[in-house]
Amino acid sequence: MEDSHTLQDEDASTGHREEPGSPVPLSCASMRSNSSMNRPIIFQGKNPSIFRPAVHQNRPVPLPSSHVSIKSHQSMDPPITIKDKPLPSESRLLLCEDESYKKYKSSLKDRFQRLSDQLPNSGQSTLLDDIYTDLYITEGDSGEVNTEHEVRQIEMAARTQQLMGDKSIKCNDIFKPLPEQDKLIRTVLTKGVAGIGKTVSVQKFIVDWAEGKANQDVRFIFPLPFRELNLINDQSFSLEGLVHRFIPQLEKMPFIDIAEHDIVFIFDGLDECRSVMDFKNDKIINDVTDRTTVDMLLSNLIKGNLLPKAKIWITSRPAASSQIPVEFVSQVTEIRGFNDPQKVEYFQKRIRDQSLAKKTIAHLKSSRSLYIMCHIPVFCWISATVLERMLRETEDAAIPKTLTQMYTHFLIIQTSIQKEKYSPSEDKEIDKEMILKLGHLAFRQLIKGNLIFYEEDLKDCAIDVEDAVVYSGVCTQIFREEFELHLRREKVFCFVHLSIQEHLAALYVYISFSEGEQTVLNLWNPTKIAAAFPCLSIYDLHQSAVDKALKSTNGQFDLFLRFLLGLSLENNLALLQVLLPRVAAGCTTSVEKTIDYIKIRLRMTLPPEKYINLFHCLNELNDSSLQDEIQTLLGSGRLSKTKLSPAQWSALVFVLLNSDRELSVFDLRKYSLSNADECLYRMLPCCRSLKNS
């Protein structure tokens, strides 16, 4: 679920392309026409046919008083003979007046105009337009497969966003060619890490269209999220049947006539798709009435065999986007979240007390790692939820300075809200039991690489579906009955953000292990027996987790590791005891041994991104000794003459990447005079994030 909170849309925001003149929005009040003397169309009954108007030879019927007369230079021309099919302007006017069409547009507006972070049926909701702002969307991407953890990708994007000067694109302009482009854009693939705003951008596109604010040349938008397509991927449909299944308001309209209009299909969340589209071997389907599997329908639609004039918008996390062959994609865009001014704007909108908003912004800016994470709209929401409450209640409280502290406070706040609303008298042991079950679910699905899960996944972790719904501040119910889908009445779940899933997974592993459940790590490798993990202490657990994260080729466990280590500190465990009684106390000796082990691994040959994550781990453990060494060398001016160890090189990269100084030019001679090749290799993460080097 991506994307809970964004800010107010500003049409005049700088850096965006001017929107070309859009067709005049549909209105039943007036329509300019060069055929004003055509024989009039008589609508029979209250619900006229949209596409087959009846033509009569009687004298013209006066227009209702609500219509405005328009002068025409051809008002005395002889009448034009009307053909069987209406002219385009007439078809649009008739479409506008059709009751089924009105209900269809209204249902889309109702479905997408509210954000999805609230409790279902609670009476509390947030209108999208109240807190929306344009996200930083750019044309194209790096062109390479990024195997780093998505948080690391955000850190790199934070650096390059300000330096590269990329042109930003408004989500309503997603199908409009750039000034230098001379091509028809049919299929757009939009990439973005979890929680960056992909789904909210889709919502904005649909709501603005339904309200007549943008893209009025489009007549139909068909949103078909992959998380809902998963529920029917074992069934057969025609394209016509699939659309009617999701949009029942259009069942009375002949699909062959709908297909003659401008259509946009939106497939949100390719990374959530649990079936495989075979673009090479799927048989060709070019008839909208032919029945086949859902994945085969989608592949034929994307390839252009079905409805070649229809536009397609696909959103995906970066790792899954390669499922769509490049030859079937007209344009790739990338959502990079909030830039720095938009971060400030968000907190000013989200926190009504402006003095609190200023304190919140100042605190986040004081922690570079937290401020970088604010590129993700969902993290802005998490930070605002925590800091607004803490700063309002007391200024003496220990304000979160690390990711572990921020997410632990968020979990406590959300659980207390749930408890106050639903079960104020329940024992804390019940909270602990539910949190551990959710953590178990989070860990199992993290290992599988799943962000969404279904009722059977919850049952595998002994979670009652209705209990999970109550904890919607942590585990959001995606399924909404107002979708009016004729699908199985099965609920779809996900955590508010991947990072919350990783935090809960780490919490589950730490608590389970500290309570003697040493087989918990067997989930990492179910083929091995418990004896294969001879973990006897928290240090053994840490060592096993560090090794597992370093072996992962896609950074899957990087943030999980940071949370697991951070949860081991005594102050964080004391914080957890507010929520989870009798949590085992931390062991200072184990933490110190873990710090030493990480420093040993930093001396070894690792990919650059692994070095960076290990320094984040040291930050979570409140150890900055290596960074302090580098800062001393930088301040003394002796750095370029000093032979650095691998750990010191990594510390230098970490310090530079987390500096708030803009380095638009990178001179290797400032860092090494003796070995330029080694310097270049070690400093590659810095070079990638800079404009000139």
Spatial distance between the Cα atoms of 563 and 488, rounded to a whole number of angstroms: 37
Residue 10 φ/ψ region, left for φ over 0, alpha for ψ in the -120 to 50 degree band, beta for the rest: beta
Spatial distance between the Cα atoms of 178 and 215, rounded to a whole number of angstroms: 16
Spatial distance between the Cα atoms of 204 and 210, rounded to a whole number of angstroms: 10
Kindly report the CA angle at 678 between 676 and 684, in degrees rounded to 5?
95
CB 289 within 8 A of CB 238: yes
- Model pLDDT for residues 395-443, shown as the tens digit of each residue: 656 889 899 999 999 988 888 776 666 565 566 666 778 888 999 999 9
Q: Is the pLDDT of residue 193 over 50?
A: yes
Highest mean pLDDT among 39-43, 175-179, 232-236, 470-474: 232-236
Spatial distance between the Cα atoms of 593 and 591, rounded to a whole number of angstroms: 5
Looking up tokens 């209105």 gives 27
How far, in whole angstroms, is CA 618 from its chain's centroid? 28
Q: Is the pLDDT of residue 156 over 70?
A: no
Token pair in block for residue 140:
């194209």
What radius of gyration, in Å, describes the C-alpha atoms of the chain? 28
- Model pLDDT for residues 105-134, shown as the tens digit of each residue: 999 998 888 775 444 444 455 666 666 656
CB 195 within 8 A of CB 319: no
Spatial distance between the Cα atoms of 505 and 447, rounded to a whole number of angstroms: 10
Q: Is the pLDDT of residue 537 over 50?
A: yes
pTM confidence score? 0.71
Helix, strand and coil in the chain, % to nearest 5: 50, 10, 45
Q: Is the pLDDT of residue 12 over 80?
A: no
For CA atoms 353, 354, 355, 356, give the dihedral sign.
Answer: positive
Token pair in block for residue 359:
């304190």
Token pair in block for residue 452:
């969404």
CATH topology of domain 104-117+126-338: Rossmann fold (3.40.50)
Among 152-166, 473-487, 669-683, which is the least confidently predicted range? 473-487
Amino acid 36: pLDDT? 42
Q: For residue 251, which of 265, 237, 259, 240 has the smallest C-alpha distance?
A: 240
Kindly report the CA angle at 529 between 528 and 531, in degrees rounded to 5?
120
The pLDDT > 90 percentage for the chain reads: 27
Looking at 423-568, list the stretches that DSSP marks H as alpha helix, in order from N- to C-terminal side: 428-448, 455-460, 465-470, 498-514, 538-551, 558-566
Between 479 and 490, name the one with better pLDDT.
490
Q: For residue 14, which of 339, 381, 334 has the smallest C-alpha distance?
A: 339
Between 653 and 304, name the one with better pLDDT.
304
Amino acid 202: pLDDT? 92
Spatial distance between the Cα atoms of 56 and 38, rounded to a whole number of angstroms: 11
Instruction: List the 492-495 sheet strands across, edge first.
Output: 452-454, 492-495, 475-477
Domains of the chain, by residue range, sit at: 104-117+126-338, 339-401, 624-688
| Mean of per-residue pLDDT scores for the chain | 75
Pairing of β 263-267 and β 311-316: parallel
Q: Is the pLDDT of residue 52 over 50?
A: no
Amino acid 60: pLDDT? 40
What's the whole-number mean pLDDT along residues 587-595?
A: 87
What's the whole-number mean pLDDT along residues 2-28?
A: 41
SS3 state of residue 96 = helix
Single-letter code of the amino acid located at 331 = Q
CB 492 within 8 A of CB 452: yes
- Model pLDDT for residues 541-568, shown as the tens digit of each residue: 999 999 999 988 778 899 999 999 999 9
Spatial distance between the Cα atoms of 669 and 510, rounded to a whole number of angstroms: 45
Spatial distance between the Cα atoms of 329 and 174, rounded to a whole number of angstroms: 13
Spatial distance between the Cα atoms of 349 and 353, rounded to a whole number of angstroms: 9
Amino acid 503: pLDDT? 94
Q: For residue 339, which of 138, 474, 518 has the smallest C-alpha distance?
A: 138
Spatial distance between the Cα atoms of 347 and 353, rounded to a whole number of angstroms: 10
- The helix (run of H) or strand (run of E) holding residue 198 is helix 198-210
Q: Is the pLDDT of residue 294 over 90?
A: yes
Contacts of 267 (CB under 8 A, 6+ apart): 224, 225, 226, 229, 298, 312, 313, 314, 315
Residue 620: what are its φ and ψ, rounded to 5°?
Answer: -65, -25
Q: For residue 269, which of 331, 335, 194 has the smallest C-alpha distance?
A: 194
Burial 327-342 (b: 16+ CB within 10 A, else e): ebbbbbbbbbbbbeeb
Spatial distance between the Cα atoms of 611 and 613, rounded to a whole number of angstroms: 6
Instruction: For the chain, report the end-to-end CA distance as a whole number of angstroms.
Output: 38
SS3 state of residue 341 = helix
Dihedral angle at the C-alpha atoms of 150, 153, 155, 160, nearest 10 degrees?
A: -160
